[in-house]
Amino acid sequence: MSKQFEMESGQTPEKSSSASAQDCCLVSRQNSTDVGEILSEQQEASGHDFSRAVQAAKCTGPLGPEGSSLRTLPMLVPFLTPFGKLRAWTCAAALCLAVAAASAQQPPTPAPQPPAQSAEKPQPADKEQTRITPAQAKELFGLVDELLQFSSQETGLPVKSTVKRQLTTRVAVEGFLKRKFDEDEGAKRLQRGEIVLKKFGLLDRDFELKPFLLALLKEQIEAYYDSKTKTVNLLDWVDIEEQKPVLAHELTHALQDQHADLEKWNDQTPSDVSTNFPQDSDHLAKDEMDTAREAVVEGQATAVMMDYILKPLGKSLVKDPEVLDIVKQQMSGTGNSPVLARAPLLLSESLLFPYREGLSFEQDLWMDKGQAAAFAGAMDRPPTSSWEIINPLEYEKQHVPAVPLLPNIHPLVDKLYIPYDIGQIGQLDLHILAEIFGGEKSARDLTPAWDGGLYWAGQRRSAKTDADQANTKSLALFYLSAWKNPASAQAFAQLYASALGRKYSGLKPDLTAQASAGLPSGSTEQVYSTSEGPVLITTRGKLVFVAESFDLDLARKLTALILDAQGTGDMEMAVGVAPSLPAPSTNLGAPGLDFETWESKNPYHPQATAPDQGIPEPLTSSLIRFFSNCGVMKSAVDAALQSEK
């Protein structure tokens, strides 16, 4: 599913844009396509000789069909805003999937007995599993310090302490995943947010997220660094040669952890739901922070893994930037990952984003600003949004993305609804939404014109039973979408309206209600009746406001309140308490305003900031964060290994 995102700045960098992830990364395997043919085309186009890389790749062993890597989730993708967190988890897995593909072309080296590590009872296997010997395990343990030094040299991050290591079994890894789903607060938030994803139409109503994600992780995990125990977990069923690049990736996470404490750095999203106006403002200001940070940590770790693979060939990510295009091509294949091949677009894009766009982001920084800026600098001044990851030049200029203003809606909604979810619709979220609703061309056309977005969901107080609360009918939501020009706003409104039939039964235009509206000049309105209540789509200039399942009178009150709050100038910024962020300056650049201008123009700005009680993330953030926290993915590893060819 790898895609190129266009630069909003109007400049097209010579380097390609990829993604990174968060605290944990999953290593995955991708389909073993004929990379020799791809590289031949690259050689003809660029004049570089990849023949040595092709020969070297033939000597690389496979990661094994069941191998995959996962890093510990200090906190599973907070799913208060379902898009972003799920996206993070999915992205991490994807890049690793790509890297593993190259090695998947040869059978694994057989090895005898497994070390007795896990207390869990082994489950019967359909086929005999390869196990490394105690002597091989000792050799593998010895490689940790060597590869830690390599990662330190590549990143410039110092080794402050040794990294604990242990060998683990497939049964232990699967048990770890199951416990995460059953016990981790992030996983619970992820499951809670599932209903919001379905309400948006990003997942089918009958899709069962938990069992699918568990199956996907079992397929993808290659190794993981646990930031809680400060331990790198090595897999007893994967050959030593196959684990070396994965180790380089995971030990980069160990260095990041020693530099910034990933348990705290990666987790900017408390679990509580925003219940009042001050909290809403604060949450929206911080919403995409975790998604962007996931992309940084996974992009950095993948860059180190790539250079470890390329170094014997005399190549590197900076000296030979065209290698990134090969990695992206490989990440788009899922032939050796049948579960990933069945994944909805939301999951596959969320899996890939931190690795693919994160890697591209890091490559751009490294080439433009040097090693220190790309590694320590990106952790000390992390990007705050998927917009900055997709558009690294904007990050380099210290520009910040636009966030629409949300006035105090609670006097209107709290009587009938319990606040359930709030967050941004970031540029990545919009890209996924547009592709699901209208295909690749719609996503390609609309993504560069995105200029901000937010959503809010509430659950009816009358929904008392578990069955009622699990039904999308119990939710009402609104979505404010901002665009760079009126034509794009109108195009998106039509696209959204055309996709309502995929979400609701009994859909039909309500022309009577539509005709009764007294609209301000320049506004247009579409009204539909559905099996879950009215849908109101209002377009005003460069803004589109969608209200779903509110009664029509309340929907129109919300529309007027929120659209009027935006004013008629450039899109403004929500402001809140944002840890680890530089204070707003007087020259933040477009899109956005400095704090003083925002405060003077915003009549709803609270005099005091409420205590921080929970920060939602963009719709995909929970997925992205969850994937990243589990370890490195086969897809990413396969793609990196293919670049060696």
Residue 160: the pLDDT is: 97
With cut-offs at 50, 70 and 90, classify the pLDDT of residue 179: confident
Residue 568: the pLDDT is: 65
Q: What is the mean pLDDT of residues 530-557?
A: 97
Distance separating alpha carbons of residues 442 and 484, to the nearest angstrom: 16
pLDDT greater at residue 114 or residue 75: 114
In 277-419, alpha helices (H) = 277-286, 289-310, 323-331, 338-341, 345-369, 371-372, 378-380, 386-390, 392-396, 410-413
Q: What is the mean pLDDT of residues 142-163?
A: 96
- Lowest mean per-residue pLDDT among 4-18, 265-279, 493-507, 554-568: 4-18
User: What residues contact 196, with CB distance under 8 A and at least 6 apart?
Assistant: 81, 82, 420, 421, 457, 475, 477, 619
Secondary structure, 3-state, 346-376:
HHHHHHHHHHHHHHHHHHHHHHHHCHHHHHH
Residue 386: the pLDDT is: 92
pLDDT at residue 494 is higher than 90:
yes
Residue 159: the pLDDT is: 98
Residue 119: the pLDDT is: 35
Distance separating alpha carbons of residues 322 and 316, to the nearest angstrom: 10
User: Is 539 in a helix, a strand, or coil?
Assistant: strand
pLDDT at residue 483 is higher than 90:
yes
Residue 620: the pLDDT is: 57
Say what percent of the chain tops pLDDT 70: 66
User: In this structure, are residues 76 and 184 in contact, taking their beta carbons and an 8 Å threshold?
Assistant: yes
User: In this structure, are residues 235 and 199 in contact, taking their beta carbons and an 8 Å threshold?
Assistant: no
pLDDT at residue 6 is higher than 70:
no
Say what percent of the chain tops pLDDT 90: 48
**AA letter at 209:** L
- Lowest mean per-residue pLDDT among 177-191, 204-218, 306-320, 629-643: 629-643
With cut-offs at 50, 70 and 90, classify the pLDDT of residue 214: confident
Q: What is the mean pLDDT of residues 228-252?
A: 90
pLDDT tens-digit readout, 315-334: 999 999 999 988 877 776 65
Residue 234: the pLDDT is: 87
β-pair type (164-168, 231-235): parallel
With cut-offs at 50, 70 and 90, classify the pLDDT of residue 182: confident
Mean pLDDT rounded to a whole number for the chain: 74
- Lowest mean per-residue pLDDT among 171-180, 561-570, 581-590: 581-590
Residue 241: the pLDDT is: 87
With cut-offs at 50, 70 and 90, classify the pLDDT of residue 408: very high
Q: Which of 35, 34, 27, 32 shows the shortest CA–CA distance to 94? A: 27
Distance separating alpha carbons of residues 630 and 616, to the nearest angstrom: 20
Query: What would the two tokens of residue 632 be?
Result: 């490195």
Q: Which of 309, 315, 316, 313 shows the shortest CA–CA distance to 363? A: 316
pTM for the complete prediction? 0.72
Can you say how many angstroms the Cα of residue 481 is from the centroid of all Cα atoms in its chain?
Answer: 20
User: In this structure, are residues 290 and 20 in contact, taking their beta carbons and an 8 Å threshold?
Assistant: no
Distance separating alpha carbons of residues 133 and 450, to the nearest angstrom: 54
Reported for 550-557, long-range contacts at CB under 8 A and 24+ positions apart, including other chains, are 550/476, 550/478, 552/513, 552/527, 554/412, 554/413, 554/416, 555/478, 556/517, 557/412
Phi-psi group of 592: left, alpha or beta (phi > 0 → left; psi -120 to 50 → alpha; rest → beta) = left
What's the start-to-end Cα distance of the chain, in Å? Answer: 21
Residue 217: the pLDDT is: 82
Q: What are phi and psi of 386, to 5 degrees?
A: -65, -25
Q: What are phi and psi of 401, to 5 degrees?
A: -75, 160
Residue 357: the pLDDT is: 94
pLDDT tens-digit readout, 588-623: 233 333 333 333 333 333 333 333 333 344 555 555
Residue 644: the pLDDT is: 54
Can you say how many angstroms the Cα of residue 352 is from the centroid of all Cα atoms in its chain?
Answer: 7
- Rg over CA atoms, the chain: 24
User: Is 559 in a helix, a strand, or coil?
Assistant: helix
